[in-house]
Amino acid sequence: MKGKNKHNKLKPIMRKSMLAALGLGIALPVAGSLPQVQAGAIGPTFEISRPVLNEGISWMSVSSNPSNSSSPWPSRVTAPITVEENNFITIDLSNHFPSDQFSLISAQSSNDDIASVDVSRDHSKYTLVVVPFAKGVINIKLTAQYKASQDPNSQLETVEDNIELHISKKGDFNNDGYVDSADAVELLSYLRTRSFLSNRAINRADIDRNGTPEMVQDMKAFMQGYIEGSLGAKNNSYVLTFKQVDDAPYAFNGKLNGTMQLGQTITGSFTQLDVDDDSVATAKYQWYTAADVNGTDELAIEQPNSPQYTIQNADVGRYLILKITPVSNSSQYPEGKTIVIRGMQAMEGPPPPP
């Protein structure tokens, strides 16, 4: 309708007969409809609605509720999600970035208006601090310096671990910025089918915040919350879910092991790091020869994917180069950056007879 905001329309919701069938016994306003209420309005305070959940991050607890934080990775030590009294979140990074392997750990938010992030340090303990401000989604980029070798002369390499934080107003199930009939309809459909495909959806559907979406209890909590004014713009309670973002694996500390001589077998070795704890797949190895150590006149060697190569007659006088691409079972970024390992001396012929 011209001149009218579509968000001011009244949308039909569940009729009394449907509520009666559910056993909710809640009286609807006239005509059985709920007006839209802006869910995105920010009040004087921001309240984190517990529990805060985690979807797919293997180094983090599943829930901020200790009684509901059993990990799908039982063999791993997971960092608890702690909701502090002043409405910010802390997560211990000690197990994710151990101080004997990592240093200079920092964090960056993709949007400080939605949530700010920082890393605090107390001696060797690093803690991620997250302060949410508004609904939305941010990317949290964790960076650290990785010590691939205990050799004091080895270079430090920078690694990144990206995770998302999803923030929505309590009751805004479809996450469109409003608490209205559309949320009630989608919530009811979700609870009926019980298609709990993600912790983000589970968290939004858990209106009564008992940790488990349930048909009667959560629909009743939604209706009561709307009628009593505890949902919508008058309420500053927000639902938070952390989510895994796929990162590519890293390869460090590459070496060529063996004697650069005809008939000798050279083995390439490296250290693989996957900050997402994805299972490691077979790396990709490609061998080359070149006219010098800088790779001039580089020629690829045709052979099966292997970390080993036996020096041939045609290689004598040239330099051996190995390029390794780390691979994991990550669904989005299965391959990491390729590293190049160069032989520092030309390959030689057989030793002279005694």
- Structural domains in the chain? 37-245 (no CATH), 250-342 (2.60.40.2700)
Q: What is the pLDDT of residues 152-192, one digit of tens each?
A: 666 788 999 999 999 999 999 988 878 888 899 999 989 98
Tell me, what's the pLDDT at 155?
74
pTM (two decimals):
0.81
9 confidence band (pLDDT: 50, 70, 90) = very low
Tell me, what's the pLDDT at 281?
82
Largest CA distance in the chain: 106
150 confidence band (pLDDT: 50, 70, 90) = low
More confident residue, 181 or 44: 181
**What helix, strand, coil percent values describe the chain, rounded to 5?**
15, 35, 50
Q: What is the pLDDT of residues 68-81, one digit of tens each?
A: 656 555 556 899 99
83 pLDDT exceeds 70? yes
Of 209, 206, 199, 276, whose CA–CA distance to 241 is shortest?
Answer: 199
Q: What is the pLDDT of residues 117-146, one digit of tens each?
A: 999 988 778 999 999 998 999 999 999 998
40 confidence band (pLDDT: 50, 70, 90) = very low
Instruction: State phi, psi for 165 to the nearest 5 degrees.
Output: -125, 120
